[in-house]
Amino acid sequence: MALVVLVAALWLGAAIGETSIPFGVVAKTVANRLWDAGYPLEPIDEGIVWSYRLSRAVVAACCGAALALSGVVLQSLLRNPLADPYILGISAGASTGAVSVAILGLGAGIMTLPMGAFFGALIAFALVSLLAVKAGRGTAAIILAGVAGSQLFNALTSFIVTKAATAEQARGIMFWLLGNLSGVRWPDAWLAIPAALAGLLVCLWHARSLDAFTFGAESAASLGISVRRTYLALVGISAMMTAVMVSIVGSIGFVGLVIPHAARMLVGIRHSVLLPVAALIGAVFMILADILSRVLIPGQVLPIGVITALVGAPAFAFVLGQRRGRG
């Protein structure tokens, strides 16, 4: 069932665009490429479907799933309904890391872009956690620390870009920073798919541990969870997923924040069900957001981050309202 929904969304993603391509052609293209079916097709159509749209839809799906998973994990671990990689500054840190590698040539040769992003993400999370502890832990403290962290790392990124990048580099990077799937091709997908799958598996492996955090970390410890090991594994995997996605498509907000809440409303709080459902909704949401970003303004492509923010901000307001209602 989940697979059907996902395939349908991918199908839509491949068919809809500036020039619509019939669903049959999409199916035949996939058959040609995967099983050498040998259907006669227009090479241009086949090229658009396979090289541009499908790879793009696949990356969008992985990205949505990864961000939603990170959101679920961070919200559950930190007992904070407003936590997500974007708000906590992890995405911003990953951007800084990626830009440091791409422009400053940090770790020349050994560090790839995603690795730079990963270290950036970890440093950002460590810094934000430290700040949050100093500010007195609570829900608000973490969010404020995240805001401060995001600002700091965004400023660092801008600084690096302005100082070291050529004008052309700078324009490309600024577009990428807003969240952009335009340049995505199959090699990106071969990075995004394993990252999202590994993330899903590690999170599912810890589903029971995440359940045990319902009444907080101390309660989890008394239920037999190794809190520190769980934190390390899950924050690590969230940082990894965020870093890979940021290095491919830039930082995209609100998906990690809103999708987990939608999933919880649908299937409840048990993580063994919640995690896969959140991943699925995230994947489908991102594919649809990407389609919207391509067709909303004819002849123009909106950064996908703009779409997710347009949908996400009202949803965010709704979550805030709900919280108040429950006291």
Partner 1 sequence: MTLSASNISWSVGAASIVDDVSLEVREGEFLGLIGPNGSGKTSLMALLSGIRKPRSGEVILDGVPIGRMGRREVARHLALVEQQAETADRITARQAVELGRTPYLGPLSPWSANDDAVVEATLENVDMAHLAGRLWHTLSGGERQRLHIGRALAQKPKILLLDEPTNHLDIGHQIGLLDLVRRQGLTVVAALHDLNHAAMFCDRIAVMQAGRLVAVGRPFEVLTAERIRDVFGVEAAIEIDIEGGCHIRFQAQSGRGGRSVSMGDGTGKRFSRS
List residues near partner 1 by CB under 8 A.
79, 81, 204-205, 207-209, 211-212, 214-216, 218-219, 221-226, 264, 268-270, 323, 326-327
Q: How far is the CB of 199 from partner 1 (least distance, A)?
A: 15
Q: Which residue number, 164 or 221, has a Cβ lying nearer to partner 1? A: 221
Q: How far is the CB of 206 from partner 1 (least distance, A)?
A: 8
- Selection from 255, 251, 245 nearest residue 312 by Cα: 255
In angstroms, rounded to a whole number, what is the distance separating the alpha carbons of residues 115 and 136?
32
In angstroms, rounded to a whole number, what is the distance separating the alpha carbons of residues 136 and 48?
53
Q: How deeply is 298 buried, as exposed, middle or buried, from its count of CB atoms within 10 A (0-12, 13-18, 19+)?
A: exposed
Q: How far is the CB of 187 from partner 1 (least distance, A)?
A: 32
Map residue 87 onto helix, strand or coil. Answer: coil
Q: Which residue number, 170 or 204, has a Cβ lying nearer to partner 1? A: 204
Tokens 């924050």 sit on residue:
235
In angstroms, rounded to a whole number, what is the distance separating the alpha carbons of residues 239 and 243?
6
CB 303 within 8 A of CB 251: no
Q: How crowded is the C-beta side of 57, counted as CA atoms within 13 Å?
A: 25
**The two structure tokens encoding residue 147:** 């805001």
In angstroms, rounded to a whole number, what is the distance separating the alpha carbons of residues 324 and 141?
17
In angstroms, rounded to a whole number, what is the distance separating the alpha carbons of residues 44 and 56?
17
Q: How far is the CB of 235 from partner 1 (least distance, A)?
A: 18
Q: Which residue number, 221 or 262, has a Cβ lying nearer to partner 1? A: 221
Q: How far is the CB of 192 from partner 1 (least distance, A)?
A: 25
Q: Which residue number, 20 or 226, has a Cβ lying nearer to partner 1? A: 226
Q: How far is the CB of 319 from partner 1 (least distance, A)?
A: 11
In angstroms, rounded to a whole number, what is the distance separating the alpha carbons of residues 83 and 258?
10
Q: Which residue number, 136 or 224, has a Cβ lying nearer to partner 1? A: 224
Q: Which residue number, 151 or 214, has a Cβ lying nearer to partner 1? A: 214
What DSSP designation does 290 have?
H
Instruction: Determine the residue type at 26.
Output: V
Q: How far is the CB of 211 from partner 1 (least distance, A)?
A: 6
Q: Which residue number, 137 or 171, has a Cβ lying nearer to partner 1? A: 137
In angstroms, rounded to a whole number, what is the distance separating the alpha carbons of residues 76 and 78?
6
